[in-house]
Amino acid sequence: MTTEVQVQGLGAYEQWGFTLDHDGSMAVFLLHEGELVARFSQTGATEESLQEECARHLTMKHGWDDCMWQRH
């Protein structure tokens, strides 16, 4: 289940299949549809860095054009 804090950190990218997970220690994992996209330190993960990595992943792996239209 996605928490409110995760939705806030991911912003609109949560609707695009991004989720956050953690290892119970100091690492936060950014996932896209279950695939590991990036690892962050809990103290270093910011909304900006998470969302930047989401955009980078969509652009590099899925040919995204930086448009935030609703998915169909």
9-63 pLDDT, tens digit each: 899 899 989 999 988 888 999 999 999 999 999 888 899 999 999 999 998 888 7
Cα(9)–Cα(52) distance, integer angstroms: 11
The pLDDT confidence band at residue 67, using thresholds 50, 70 and 90, is: low
Say whether pTM exceeds 0.85.
no
What is the 3 state secondary structure string of 9-32?
A: HHHHHHHHCEEEEECCCCEEEEEE
Going from the C-alpha of 5 to that of each of 2, 20, 27, 35, 57, the distances in angstroms are 8, 10, 16, 20, 21
